[in-house]
Amino acid sequence: MKKLDEMREDDFLGAFQQEKRKETGFVAKPVAAKPLVAKALPPAPPPEDPQLVALRTENAGQKAALQRLEADVAQARAALDVARTTQERFDRERRLADKRAEDARDRVRELEMRLAAADKTALWADRGLTKAEVLRALALLANAQPQALLTAVMAVEPQPLAQLLNDRLALVCGAPTCEPAGDALLLVVPVERCELCGGSDLRAAYRAFAQAMGAARLPSVTFIGGSPAYRETLRALHRELNPGFALDAVGKKRPGESKRAQAARGLIVIWGGSEVDHDTTIHYRQSGDLVLSVSHRGLSGILPRLTAQLQKA
Q: How far is Cα 296 from Cα 81, in angstroms, rounded to an integer?
A: 76
Q: Which residue has the higher pLDDT, 173 or 257?
A: 173
Percent of the chain with pLDDT over 90: 14
Q: Is 124 exposed, middle or buried (0-12, 13-18, 19+ CB in 10 A)?
A: middle
What residues contact 219, with CB distance under 8 A and at least 6 apart?
245, 246, 265, 266
Q: Tell me if the domain spanning 202-312 has CATH number 3.30.70.
A: no
Q: Which residues of 203-226 are buried (b: 16+ CB within 10 A; e: fewer)?
A: eebbbbbbebbeeeebebbbbbbb
Q: Which residue has the higher pLDDT, 221 or 115?
A: 221
Average pLDDT over every residue of 171-184? 83
pLDDT tens digit string along 62-102?
888 888 888 888 888 888 888 888 888 888 888 888 888 77
Strand partners, 187: 171
**What is the domain partition of the chain in residue ranges?**
56-117, 121-193, 202-312
**Is 136 in contact with 165 (CB distance < 8 Å)?**
no
Which range, of 159-168, 224-233, 250-259, averages the lowest pLDDT?
A: 250-259
pLDDT at 298 over 60: yes
| pLDDT given for residue 1 in this prediction | 47
**Is 161 in contact with 114 (CB distance < 8 Å)?**
no
Q: How far is Cα 70 from Cα 282, in angstroms, rounded to an integer?
A: 91
Average pLDDT, the chain: 79
